Amino acid sequence: MQTQPAETRKPVIFSGIQPSGTLTLGNYIGALRNFKLLEDQYDCVYCVVDLHALTVRQEASQLRNRCLSLAATYMAVGLDPDKSLIYCQSHVSAHAELSWILNCFTYMGELQRMTQFKDKSAKHADNINAGLFTYPVLMAADILLYQTNLVPIGADQKQHLEICRDIGQRFNSVYGDVFTIPEAYIGKVGSRVMSLQEPTRKMSKSDPEETFIALLDKPEDIRRKLKRAVTDSEGEIRFDTENKPGVSNLLSIIAALTGESTEKVTADLSGKGYGELKTRVTDCVIATLEPIQAEYTRIMADKAMLQGILDRNALKASNRANRTLDKVKRKVGCAPHGKV
């Protein structure tokens, strides 16, 4: 099979999202809506990382459905599965195989320093398992398998990308240039959407449901959550993230969804009350999410079609991943075998 000359290949972007809970408005504004813009410029790999989700006990049927739901959401926001490689991590065995090999090139001290391990251990004190500890190694395998150039990350993932780079560089120092060493992707950054109840914290799908807007929330749920969103006692609509974080968060959401500046949004609402502000943001959110939800419903109604897309993309992903894995196995001295 012919491959493209190296000089004509598009840079590879890899992103993995866990199918653990629904995606939020913050995920959409901060990342998902910009993914569509990357398809022509980059070779995009979007992985539903269901193996990562197993560090927390899962209800099997729910996890299977969430995997399909997440893939459908990717497509509902506009990603083309023929241009962007959308697949499930567990469908490509090379992820787990490479993770084991990379475990042997990762030091205990590196993993013990991971702040996310410490945080999750505190949250799940009754289930501090080895998978939680070696989670960053599987993440490194995910990224390195595809000779990834760029990884979109948030502030909470910087440590994981750094250890991925360290592992890849350590392997390369022993065996030559086997892995591409990835860089953080800093693209068009969306507004940082904050919690509706604690507006000094980022909106997160792992927080209580009333603190975030889910992409699949019904209009009545969106209205209820935004009506209860924290503001302040001043009554003045002003963009001031330090002194008025709740009001500023709502203004930022309107600006992000309408494409207007926060200054214009603020000026339009000047002299009006918080009720008017919440009505405006509610209308903007519902108008944005309605077409996404309609497309999601259409895709999920044809599970056979969706499964077919994931199966085809898993085969494509496996072919790519196995090229890297086979090279790694040769380098470390794994016994050769004939391909069946």
Q: Which residues are catalytic?
A: 120, 202, 205
Do 284 and 253 meet the contact criterion of CB atoms below 8 Å apart?
yes
Nearest to 329 by CA among 137, 143, 145, 130: 145
The letter for the amino acid at 240 is D
149: Cα within 13 Å, side-chain hemisphere: 11
Give CA–CA dist 139/160, Å, rounded: 8
Strand 43-48 versus strand 150-152 pairing type: unpaired
Nearest to 92 by CA among 253, 306, 305, 312: 312
Contacts of 111 (CB under 8 A, 6+ apart): 117, 133, 134, 136, 137, 163
Burial class (CB in 10 A: 0-12, 13-18, 19+), 110: middle
139: left (phi over 0), alpha (psi -120 to 50) or beta: alpha
Residue 315 phi, psi dihedral angles, 5° rounding:
-65, -45
